[in-house]
């Protein structure tokens, strides 16, 4: 047996958004030990420069490398766009990134009008332009940067009137364009999916990427013989650098009901 199989998998984000992806990973790979790192003190990443984001991402990788991870999922569209190539060049274990689900949306949409909600960093990135160019030929994509949403989710606000007002401001222009598919291109937005659903007609399909990323991670681990052979449920360590007194409650609430294997570790830096 390859001893690497027992090593943990790192999952990182600018904050708590990647917990939406972590849940999918747990569902697909229940026997893996997972380490989640939220860089909440430096969230949001969405309006930072590529250099700043890369510096933060490398700091998080440094922390994970000390724990000898066998793979890392960058559960953040913005960080992936800014720095995935840099970390892949630097470290020689599998590193999985995220990108807005433009391809699946282009296949699902019937009227070929698709809305994309994401951070400005993601939407302005070269990676996103290339993605649209590749998959968006016959599709009219309407992109909407959503300033302020990540900050609200970070505080655990998933449904306040302030959140609804902000969401309406971003979604109404997309409804006017008659979108029939809506891409959630930021992992934080998965946690406000219900609030989004309340503002759009039933026929509009919402597309996310967490499940596909978890599935892809599993595929890569199998291919590289890195699957943990344990039959017991894996552990999940949560690290954050949030200085908010309520950070542990927000994390536990976003993680949801099943606390088996859940360990809140607190400050990582």
Q: Does 78 sit near ligand DGL (CB under 6 A)? A: yes
Angle 200-203-205 from CA coordinates, rounded to 5°: 80
Q: Which residues contact 71 (CB under 8 A, 6 or more apart)?
A: 9, 10, 93, 94, 95, 96, 217, 220, 221, 226
Residue closer to ligand DGL by CB (options 128, 141) is: 128
Q: Does 83 sit near ligand DGL (CB under 6 A)? A: no
Q: Which of 75-83, 108-116, 196-204, 243-251 is the region at the interface with ligand DGL (rule: CB under 6 A)?
A: 75-83
142 touches 177 (CB < 8 A): yes
Question: Six-digit token pair at 4?
Answer: 């690497």
Name residue 11's beta-bridge partners.
36, 73
Question: Helices (DSSP H) in the chain: which residue ranges?
Answer: 19-28, 50-65, 77-90, 102-108, 120-123, 126-135, 149-154, 161-176, 193-197, 210-223, 247-255
Nearest to 13 by CA among 52, 51, 44, 49: 44
What is the nearest approach in angstroms of ligand DGL to the Cβ of residue 84? 12
Restricted to residues 3-62, the positions that interact with ligand DGL (CB under 6 A) are: 13-15, 17, 43-46
What is the nearest approach in angstroms of ligand DGL to the Cβ of residue 129? 16
Binding mask 165-204 for ligand DGL (x = CB under 6 A): ---------------------xxx----------------
Residues identified as active-site: 76, 186
Residue closer to ligand DGL by CB (options 61, 226) is: 61
What is the nearest approach in angstroms of ligand DGL to the Cβ of residue 43? 5
Report the interface residues with ligand DGL, using CB under 6 A: 13-15, 17, 43-46, 76-78, 119, 122, 150, 186-188
């Amino acid at each position: 047996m390859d001893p690497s199989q027992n090593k943990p998998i790192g999952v990182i984000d600018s904050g708590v958004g990647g917990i939406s992806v972590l849940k999918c990973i747990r569902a697909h790979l229940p026997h893996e030990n997972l380490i989640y790192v939220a860089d909440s003190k430096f969230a949001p990443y969405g309006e930072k420069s590529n250099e700043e984001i890369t510096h933060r991402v490398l700091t998080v990788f440094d922390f994970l490398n000390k724990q000898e991870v066998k793979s890392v999922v960058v559960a953040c569209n913005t960080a992936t766009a800014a720095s995935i190539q840099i970390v892949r060049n630097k470290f020689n274990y599998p590193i999985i990134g995220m990108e807005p689900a433009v391809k699946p949306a282009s296949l699902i949409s019937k009227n070929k009008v698709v809305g994309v909600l994401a951070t400005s960093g993601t939407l302005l990135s070269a990676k996103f332009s290339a993605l649209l160019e590749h998959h968006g030929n016959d599709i009219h994509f309407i992109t909407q940067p959503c300033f302020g949403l990540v900050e609200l989710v970070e505080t655990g606000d998933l449904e306040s009137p302030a959140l609804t007002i902000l969401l309406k401001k971003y979604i109404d222009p997309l409804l006017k364009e008659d979108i029939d598919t809506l891409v959630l291109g930021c992992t934080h937005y998965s946690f406000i999916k219900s609030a989004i659903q309340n503002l759009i007609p039933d026929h509009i399909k919402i597309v996310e990427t967490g499940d596909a990323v978890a599935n892809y991670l599993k595929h890569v681990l199998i291919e590289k013989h890195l699957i943990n052979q344990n039959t017991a449920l894996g552990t999940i360590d949560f690290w954050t650098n949030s200085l908010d007194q309520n950070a542990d409650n927000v994390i536990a609430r976003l993680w949801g009901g099943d606390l088996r294997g859940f360990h809140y570790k607190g400050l990582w830096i």
